Amino acid sequence: MEDEYRDFSAMRIRVIGNCYETQFDQQNETEFTKKNRVLFLSNLMKCKGILEFIDACEVILQKNLSVHVSIAGIPYSDAFMSKKEIAGHFFRKYRDLKNRFPDQIDYLGVIKGDEKIRLLFESDIFVLPTWHPSEAFPLSIIEAMRAGNAIITTNFNFLPAIVKPENGILVSPKSSHEIADAIDTLLRDRGRLEQIQAYNREYAKREYNPEKYIKAVKAVITSVSSAGIKTCHT
């Protein structure tokens, strides 16, 4: 992301990553039980990869009778498909899968607050197969890491800088086949999955905690003030 500003030679650049909410650190993690759950939590947009994900779900649900898929979010338009079109494509596929695998897949709509945090802590694998043109540093991935999820996302834009092999698996954009393979790989190797989950939990605490974020922001403000640079607030 910093590279986008290289043409502004006089600009002083300081990159500050996202952080998760303080509520995540206030949870008693022993209250949550991982339920072999795969989670998609995002706006249901074509460029967020929801159609590739729902296609991958068919493969996974046929292979693994113990897996449960949760989908949270609402249909939303983008430059590639209208809200009506994405809703039509998604719900046709979802209804078919719900009829065939009634106990293994649920569409939850909008999830917020404590309900969202609980869903993240009870999930095993967080999938965000995005190819959104301006995708940068998704907060949802940071929150999913903090809640102990392995991450499956795309080798796209800046995502490879956030998700390394120790954090999960990168897949090609627009590839339902690779999404299904990645989910299947983690579900079949519980040892590897639990290792990634434990790593992500501690990694997020160390790198993306709110205290570190606030300290970094304060340091930038202090450096600007000491340099006598005027700032403009809108």
Q: Are 147 and 24 in contact (CB under 8 A)?
A: yes
21 close to 106: Cβ distance less than 8 angstroms: no
CA pseudo-torsion sign 195, 197, 198, 203: positive
Q: Which residues contact 232 (CB under 8 A, 6 or more apart)?
A: none
User: What pLDDT, in 10s, does the model give residues 37-95?
Assistant: 999 999 999 999 999 999 999 999 999 989 999 999 999 999 999 999 999 999 999 99
Packing angle, helices 83-100 and 50-63, rounded to 10:
10
**3 state DSSP class of 196:** helix
The SS3 of residue 46 is helix
Q: Residue 20's pLDDT band (boundaries 50, 70, 90)? A: confident
Q: CA–CA separation, 25 vs 172, rounded Å?
A: 33
Domain ranges in the chain? 37-207
DSSP 8-state symbol, 124: S
**Average pLDDT of span 118-127:** 97
CB 52 within 8 A of CB 44: no
Mean pLDDT to the nearest integer, 9-34: 79
Threshold 0.85, pTM exceeds: yes
Q: In CATH, what number does 37-207 get?
A: 3.40.50.2000
Alpha-carbon distance of 86 to 35, in angstroms, equals: 29
The predicted pLDDT at position 19 comes to 83
